[in-house]
Chains A and B, each alone.
Chain A
Amino acid sequence: MIDTSAGSAYRAVDMAPYANNVGISAAGHTSRGAFNVWGNSFPAEHLPESGAPVSVGGVPFRFPRVGVGDDNARCDGQFIAVEAGRFDWLHLLTASERRAEDAVEMHFADGSVDPEWLRVSDFWAAPAWFGETTAFATPTMHYPHHVQRGVSAMLWSQRVPVTRRADLSGFRLPRNAAVHVFAATLQRTAVPEAGHDQ
């Protein structure tokens, strides 16, 4: 089970309301996916089950629901509100239609806003150029009319820092059609705030 309870170091973010793209398809219905402009998509048979808890490099995510409509958020400036709290990292299961780097806005309960870099490598048989953790590298790629062996679809686990020592109340994805977010998890601040050491 994915543990994102109050005592856990992580809190899963429900991305389902922001999904606007079908990036994963079943082998029998490859034309239903269109992660990129060519209609390529991730092969569902080589990814976790729909809605399953997954752990990537120790970070828990809730995998999106697959096969029931949109399964990821193509970045379009969506604002994702979260229950206010102290966090150090925003972890994302993400992939890009070619390498991209853009800003995620971190919004805080005190009204402050910080842009932070989100850097995502290409999903099409590419290396983790920005040093992401490889979440899934599939042995096939889905094309609109066939399943292609030998071309991997890459799903990355990338992290974005929350540098401000304040309560995070939400984050805003960039307006960048190349970047897709499949799941998000916030990592709580590890060490409670303290005053100057005596």
Chain B
Amino acid sequence: MTSDFATPAVTDPVPTEAPVLWYRDPISCLQSTFASVLARAGMNPLVALGAGWEFLYIPNDVRSEEFYYPCRHEGDLGRSLFPHHDVSSSWWCPADPDDPLRELREAMAERRLVIAAVDNFFLPFRPAFGDVHAAHLLVVHGLDERRGLVHVSDAMPPAFQGPIPLDDFLNSWGSANPQDRQDAFFSDSEISRRCLSVSVGSLRGGGADPGPERLAGWLRANLERFEDPGTVAGLGGLAGLDGFLRESTFRARAGEVRALQELYPFGWGMQAQAALHGELLRDRGAAWRSPALAGAGRAVESVAHAWTPLRITAAHGLDDPAAAADDLRRHAGVLRWRHTEAVESVQRALDEL
């Protein structure tokens, strides 16, 4: 079927059921949008997002996007974010430039949620509206072409769910997201009408409570990856973390702005992952009356907190990377030590499970 973009072959408006808004302060739109989709599929977002914990840095891979994440499985954010669950995802763009809404229309007709990349500059509900270009993700859960509306959901503050003008969505979705001096971290990355389709298979303990035995299996697998990351495209495990931190400090001392520029988006994914893994362990530790597991969770959360000064020092150091190198080295040392403590704590917690 072919259709004209100007006069698309519209279907009746699809009744929309807004997805769950799920948010934690250390996460980005990447985790919040996946959480909405997984919750719709019957998964507990904290259990699913908090099951995995690893370190992976892929050189020359970091992009200026809030939702950047180093993928162990190239191109598959779902499989990389959820190593212990049956989740996968794939990026796609509209096949027909004359009818860019065709795939979205089909997805909505089948009541499938779609994660769309957007530029905040064109979204009326985002603080950056009309001001700052920045790559972001939101969930599309309805398309009403007769009224010229797209129903979207965005858990990141200020949380928003509801219809926005189709033209605003199309401008945002198709934005070139040009370089913006107000945002050195999430601009200068073309949006290109990208979308993520997420596939969820069996729940595999993704419900409210995975149970001690299943969680123990996840923890063992995570610890093994810290010890031996296997075949990965970049720097993995604790040895990879050492190499990444050493390299980042070295590049900063050499005055390389790019080294600091990529620490902010890259570190966000690592920080969010540690925060959610830690919260899951602490939560289950309290529920199962396992002080060692709860304590291990808090130790992993300390890893998340140690990412803060590294990311913030880098962000504030763009004008003079060399001047920031000493502070980066010190914060890197703390982050490394927090990993050591947390890995040890998780190891001890396994004895209680």
Residues of A within 8 A of B (CB): 37-39, 96-102, 121-122, 124-127, 129, 141, 143-146, 148-151, 175-178
Q: How far is the CA of A124 from the CA of B26 in the complex (A)?
A: 10
Return chain A residues, CB-CB under 8 Å to B304: 99
Can you sample 22 A-B contacts with CB below 8 Å? A37-B312, A37-B316, A38-B182, A38-B183, A97-B308, A98-B308, A98-B311, A99-B25, A99-B275, A99-B305, A122-B26, A129-B25, A144-B131, A144-B182, A148-B158, A150-B158, A151-B158, A176-B331, A177-B309, A177-B313, A178-B308, A178-B309
B158 x A145 contact (CB < 8 A): no
Return chain A residues, CB-CB under 8 Å to B331: 176
Partner of B327, one of A38, A100, A177: A177
A175 with B312: in contact, given A124-B25, A143-B131, A149-B158 (CB under 8 Å)? no
* Main SS class of interface, B: helix
Return chain A residues, CB-CB under 8 Å to B127: 141, 143, 146, 148, 151
Return chain B residues, CB-CB under 8 Å to A97: 308, 312
Shortest Cβ distance from residue B278 to the other chain A in the assembled complex, whole angstroms? 11
Partner of A99, one of B131, B183, B308, B313: B308
Partner of B25, one of A37, A38, A127, A176: A127
Residues of B within 8 A of A (CB): 25-26, 127, 131, 157-158, 182-183, 271, 275, 302, 304-305, 308-309, 311-313, 315-316, 327, 330-331
Complex: chain A residue closest to B160, CB-CB: A150
A151 x B309 contact (CB < 8 A): no
A37 x B308 contact (CB < 8 A): no
Return chain B residues, CB-CB under 8 Å to A124: 25, 157
Q: How far is the CA of A29 from the CA of B157 in the complex (A)?
A: 23
Complex: chain A residue closest to B264, CB-CB: A37
A176 with B305: in contact, given A145-B131, A149-B158 (CB under 8 Å)? no
Q: How far is the CA of A126 from the CA of B304 in the complex (A)?
A: 15
Return chain B residues, CB-CB under 8 Å to A141: 127
Complex: chain B residue closest to A125, CB-CB: B157
Return chain B residues, CB-CB under 8 Å to A151: 127, 157-158
Complex: chain A residue closest to B331, CB-CB: A176
